């Protein structure tokens, strides 16, 4: 692939020093290659977005909505190709890749509706003082840089692109170098729809490209999803410009199972929370808190369920879980298996890499994990579940909240009043009660503490790309 960057409405060849190798994780082999963008090309992309901004932000809300619906329709028309690419480059099972595609389509459709409502959100403000009138205006924040991760490509970019375009912003999108191919689709769709040149720009690359974008003085805002280590660098870059940021970072989330819960149903929720996308989710519920009264029944059933999961190549096998997406992540998860052995943790399932081609590990369960274990406190980003027992509701809440992260949590209980009470007490951004991790575009996404700054999705996602202007007039 030579023309892998979309700048000012044209596909151009990369001029950077890095060469990006794109792999099929089920085979552990590369299948595509592209040349990274240079720093100069990042400058060109930002300049193109800056040039396009004055016209794009004046485009009518209904016109922007029509473009967003066009993105949704075009994604649907490319359905099978995009699902296959998610399976091949990410290692996702088909049912997960299908949900990813549906999520992206729903996001563009939802923000098309919100875009149409924008004129009605500019309104008069009642004042207590006589002799003055006031009104609010919601305006696009400007040129935004979007940096997205490798675990949910297409989806995370939709969560950022759709509200940014709806608000009237112009964007420069930097996909992950691990999974850059699927985001090319957005440039192709922009061409098909006739999106004005410069409204959407896509630059691919590694750390050099990301650093050039995050530190660029031509941006008005930066939205980043990824690791805490990179997020802190992004925040430092933004601080030099006093530039607003949205950061969606890591998690070490808890799933709390009370003893009145049906154990088989609980197992279903627990397994989904740790093995979806092979556990490569910031929202993975990797800390299991199980009440004493159900632990001896639940843990053996959970152990059996994890051992029964079909792990393999989603393109050639019927699987429940695919490989880890990159060799680097495979090595990281393997290092935690070694740490678990060093710490003497009790392994009930998995705990090892699979002896086959590709970057596969087994779904893993450790029991009675100490609170000071690295596996209990650190984000692993793999299908590794650590369990601890608790006696009381207060203890469960305290242990669930005892984390530097605060992204999500799940509560499992037949007592809905208790479940609601516990949900209200948890220091996180999103809680599920008796459910798998169903994420809807109408709800918010984001966390507390070390899990980030700001919210995506819902009306909050649109507000993240808007600035508020008040106009006050003296009538005297």
Residue 370 tokens read as 């100490």
Which secondary structure element, helix H or strand E, spans residue 101, and what is its range? Answer: helix 94-116
Query: Residue 376 sits in a domain of what CATH number?
Result: 3.40.309.10
Domain that holds residue 239: 5-249+451-474
Question: How far apart are alpha carbons 471 and 469 in whole angstroms?
Answer: 7
pLDDT at residue 1 greater than cutoff 90: no
Domain match, 225 and 276 both? no
- State the pLDDT at residue 41: 98
Residue 2 has pLDDT above 60, yes or no: no
pLDDT category, 95, cuts 50, 70, 90? Answer: very high
Digit-coded pLDDT (tens) for 315-350: 999 999 999 999 999 999 999 999 999 999 999 999
Are 409 and 461 part of one and the same domain?
Answer: no
Residues 405 and 434: beta-carbon distance below 8 Å: no
Q: Residue 421 burial by CB count (10 A; 0-12/13-18/19+): exposed, middle or buried?
A: middle
Are residues 368 and 302 part of one domain? yes
Global pTM?
A: 0.96
- Looking at the structure of the chain, the number of domains it has is 2
pLDDT digits (tens, 9 = 90+) for 166-181: 999 999 999 999 999 9
Do 37 and 55 belong together in one domain?
Answer: yes
pLDDT of 241? 87
> For 362-412, what is each residue's pLDDT tens digit?
999 999 999 999 999 999 999 999 999 999 999 999 999 999 999 999 999
Q: How far apart are CA 330 and CA 186, in angstroms?
A: 29
Q: How far is CA 412 from CA 262, 263, 363, 397, in A?
A: 9, 10, 21, 13
Domain identity same for 281 and 331: yes
Query: Given pLDDT bands bounded at 50, 70 and 90, which one contains residue 121?
Result: confident
Side-chain-side CA neighbours of residue 315 (13 Å): 17
How would you class 131 by CB atoms within 10 Å of its CB: exposed for 0-12, middle for 13-18, buried for 19 or more? exposed
Residues 163 and 261 in one domain: no
In a domain, 445, yes or no: no
pLDDT for res 476: 79
Residues 96 and 168 both lie in one domain: yes
Q: Is residue 67 part of a domain?
A: yes
Domain co-membership, 240 together with 296: no
Can you tell me the distance from the alpha carbon of 233 to that of 212, in angstroms, rounded to the nearest whole number? 12
Q: Could you tell me the CATH number of the domain that includes residue 139?
A: 3.40.605.10
Q: Are residues 460 and 361 in the same domain?
A: no
User: How far does the chain reach from its first CA to its final CA, in angstroms?
Assistant: 65
Instruction: Examine the domain organization and report whether 333 and 210 are in the same domain.
Output: no
Residue 462 in any domain: the answer is: yes
Q: Give 42-62 pLDDT, tens digit per residue.
A: 999 999 999 999 999 999 999
Find the mean pLDDT for residues 204-231.
96
Is residue 130 one of the residues assigned to a domain? yes
Q: Taking residues 289-302, what's their average pLDDT? A: 98
Per cent of the chain over pLDDT 90 is 97
Asked if residue 259 and residue 222 are part of one domain, the reply reads no
Q: Is residue 319 part of a domain?
A: yes
Catalytic (active-site) positions: 248, 282
Q: Decide if 274 is inside a domain.
A: yes
The reply to whether 446 falls in a domain is: no
- Both 423 and 465 in one domain: the answer is no
């Amino acid at each position: 692939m030579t023309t892998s960057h979309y700048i000012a409405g044209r596909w151009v060849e990369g001029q950077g020093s890095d060469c990006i190798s794109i792999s099929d994780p089920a085979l552990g082999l590369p299948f595509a290659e592209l040349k990274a963008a240079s720093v100069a090309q990042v400058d060109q992309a930002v300049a193109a977005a800056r040039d396009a901004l004055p016209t794009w932000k004046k485009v009518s809300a209904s016109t922007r909505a029509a473009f967003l619906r066009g993105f949704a329709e075009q994604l649907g028309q490319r359905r099978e190709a995009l699902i296959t690419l998610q399976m091949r480059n990410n290692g996702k099972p088909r049912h997960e890749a299908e949900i990813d595609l549906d999520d992206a389509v729903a996001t563009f459709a939802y923000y098309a509706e919100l875009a149409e409502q924008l004129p009605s959100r500019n309104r008069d403000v009642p004042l207590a003082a006589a002799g003055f009138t006031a009104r609010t205006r919601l305006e696009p924040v400007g040129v935004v840089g979007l940096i997205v991760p490798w675990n949910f490509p297409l989806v995370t970019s939709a969560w950022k692109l759709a509200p940014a375009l709806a608000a009237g912003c112009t964007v420069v999108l930097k996909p992950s170098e691990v999974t850059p191919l699927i985001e090319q689709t957005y440039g192709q769709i922009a061409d098909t729809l006739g999106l004005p040149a410069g409204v959407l720009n896509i630059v691919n690359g590694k750390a050099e490209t990301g650093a050039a974008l995050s530190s660029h003085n031509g941006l008005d805002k930066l939205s980043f999803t990824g690791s805490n280590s990179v997020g802190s660098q992004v925040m430092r870059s933004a601080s030099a410009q006093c530039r607003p940021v949205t950061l969606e970072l890591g998690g070490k989330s808890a799933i709390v199972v009370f003893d009145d819960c049906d154990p088989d149903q609980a197992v279903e929720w627990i397994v989904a929370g740790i093995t979806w996308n092979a556990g490569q989710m910031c929202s993975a519920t990797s800390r299991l808190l199980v009440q004493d009264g159900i632990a001896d029944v639940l843990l053996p059933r959970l152990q059996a369920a994890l051992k029964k999961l079909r792990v393999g190549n989603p393109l050639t096998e019927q699987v429940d879980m695919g490989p880890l997406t990159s060799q680097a992540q495979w090595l990281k998860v393997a290092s935690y298996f070694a740490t678990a052995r060093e710490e003497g943790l009790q392994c009930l399932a998995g705990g090892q890499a699979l002896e086959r081609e590709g970057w596969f590990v087994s779904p893993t369960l450790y029991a009675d994990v100490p609170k000071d274990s690295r596996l209990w406190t650190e984000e692993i980003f793999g299908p590794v579940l650590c369990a601890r027992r608790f006696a009381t509701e207060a203890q469960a809440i305290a242990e669930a909240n005892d984390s530097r992260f605060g992204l999500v949590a799940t509560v499992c209980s037949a007592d809905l009043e208790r479940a609601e009470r516990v949900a209200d007490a948890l220091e996180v951004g999103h809680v599920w009660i008796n459910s798998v991790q169903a994420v809807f575009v109408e709800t918010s996404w984001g966390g507390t503490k070390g899990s980030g700054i700001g919210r995506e999705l819902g009306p909050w996602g649109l507000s993240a790309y808007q600035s508020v202007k008040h106009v006050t007039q003296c009538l005297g």
